[in-house]
Amino acid sequence: MDLIRIIFAILLPPLGVFLQVGLGKHFWLNILLTLCGYIPGIVHAVWIIARR
């Protein structure tokens, strides 16, 4: 299941974070990072998925 989340995190970072933690503070932070730049959103999403 983590492989699917990482694939989603690369394609659409907020979706990968949402699948991992739901609508929490990390989800909204990831949306903000993705809007600021696609790469920071990916890095944050993969970090959140790999951490848990």
DSSP single-letter state for residue 37: -
How large is the average pLDDT for residues 6-16? 93
For the chain, what are the domain ranges?
1-51
**pLDDT of 52 strictly over 80:** no
- pLDDT tens digits, residue range 17-47? 999 999 999 999 999 999 999 999 999 999 9
* Cα–Cα distance, 30 to 14 (Å, whole number): 6
**pLDDT of 13 strictly over 90:** yes
Q: What is the reported pTM?
A: 0.89
